[in-house]
Amino acid sequence: MILILVTGGTFDKEYHELSGTLAFKETHVPEMLRRGRCRADVSVRTLMMIDSLEMSGADRAAIVAECRRAEETRILITHGTDTMVETAVALGRVFDHTQDKTIVLTGAMVPYAFGSSDGLFNLGSALSFVQVLPAGVYVAMNGRYFTWDRVQKNRETGIFEPA
């Protein structure tokens, strides 16, 4: 059983047509899993729906607490890319290989609701990594995975790379 924890991020942003702004409504994760005809045993839980630039220390603590509380040993977290590495670090300090939990963070550069989104690719990727990687905390972006302590987002290119 895999837990998918939704925290918001670009992944789930939608165009609000009356205000002309990008905002959150519901998560697209269940629809994306249906589109991928996913039959992995997953449970989706929305913890928060925020832009990761607005994520506070308390929010990160809530994510860590939720992972601790979870009965599932495999956890996928959808997250904004801007501070994904910070949350990975917060988790990595708690969940090491002795903890028996595999946690993978992923997100998207372009909202799923846009035709050109990378979200479906990233979800398929993260869901696969979380099933086979050993206990630990990882970031899955750009078709690759990184351990929490060796990854950074390149702000110029938007690409995650080894740190």
To a copy of itself, the closest distance from the beta carbon of 105 in angstroms equals 14
Is 37 one of the binding residues for a copy of itself (CB under 8 A)?
yes
22 token code pair: 């990008």
Is 10 one of the catalytic residues?
A: yes
> In this structure, is the dihedral angle defined by the CA atoms of residues 148, 105, 86 and 157, taken in order, positive or negative?
positive
**How far apart, in whole angstroms, are the C-alpha atoms of residue 7 and residue 9?**
7
Q: Which of residues 70-109 bind a copy of itself (CB under 8 A)?
A: 82, 109
Instruction: State residue 115 phi and psi, 5-degree precision.
Output: -55, -35
Tokens of 93: 């300090």
- Between residues 66 and 82, which has the closer beta carbon with respect to a copy of itself? 82
* CB of residue 48 to a copy of itself, shortest distance in Å: 17
- Helix (H) or strand (E) run with residue 130 in it: helix 119-132
Asked if residue 24 binds a copy of itself (CB under 8 A), the reply is no
Contact call for residue 49 and a copy of itself (CB under 8 A): no
Residues 127-156 that bind a copy of itself (CB under 8 A): 127-129, 131-133, 140-145, 155-156
Q: Are 107 and 28 in contact (CB under 8 A)?
A: no
Residues designated catalytic:
10
Residues that bind a copy of itself (CB under 8 A): 10, 15, 17-18, 20-22, 32-33, 35-40, 42, 51, 82, 109-111, 113-118, 120-129, 131-133, 140-145, 155-156, 158-161
